Amino acid sequence: MVIGGDLGDPAGAQRIADTAEEALGGVDVLVNNAAVATSEDNAHRVADVSYAEWQQVWRQMVDVNLLGAANVSYCVARHLIGRGAPGRIVHIGSRGAFRGEPDHPAYGASKAALHALGQSLAVALAPHGIAVTSVAPGFTATERVAGRLTGESGDALREQSPFGRVGTPQEVAAAVVYLASAEATWASGTVLDLNGASHLRM
C-alpha cells in the first residue's frame, strides 16, 4: 500500500508510521529513504546565497533528511517494542557525509547526522532485538538525476569511480535487503559504503 504524507512535519511522520502499523498488521522493517536531494535549485554555497536562503535550505533538508527519519524511526521502534517483536531499521545516507558537500553543506551534514543517529539507535534498540544500520551510496543512477548523467557532467561523475560508472538502484537495494535480513543482525551499527571506490575513508 502507499501512504502519503510530509515527513518534514512531526505529526505527518507519526501518522505515516501509525497508519502503516495498523494497515499492515505491524511494520518489521523500516527503510528511511525519503530525502531532499541535491540540485542546482537548492545549492547554497556560502559565498552565493543570502542568510535567509541559507536558513531556508537548511531547515528543509534537516526537517526531512534527519528529523523525518528520526521521527519515523521512533514511532516504528515504539510499535516494535510494544509488540515485543524484533525488527530492522536501515537508513539511506550518503558518501557526502564523509567527503563533504561544499555546494550543499546542509545535505552533507544531514546525512552525517543520519549515520550517527543510526549508530546511536543501534546501541539503544539492541536490547529489544532491533538492529539499525546505514548505507552510504555514492552517485546513483535514478530517474530523478538522469539529466546529470549526460554530457560532460555525466563523464565527470563516471570518472569519480575507477570502475568508470556510477551506482545502480539495484546495487543499493541488494545491500538494503541484506541489512534487513535476520542474517545481518550482527551488522547492527554498520555504515556500509556503496560508492565503487569513488571515496575511501581512512
Interval 5-20: pLDDT, tens: 999 999 999 999 999 9
CB 91 within 8 A of CB 187: no
> Which residues, given as ranges, of the chain have pLDDT below 50?
none
Cell triple for 156: 565527470
- What is the domain partition of the chain in residue ranges? 28-194
Sign of the C-alpha dihedral computed for residues 178, 184, 185 and 187 taken in this order: negative
Q: What was the pLDDT predicted at 145?
A: 86
Distance CA 187, CA 164 (A): 29
Q: Where in the sequence numbering do the catalytic residues fall? A: 107
Q: How many residues does the chain have?
A: 202
Q: 28-194: which CATH topology? A: Rossmann fold (3.40.50)
Distance CA 143, CA 133 (A): 25
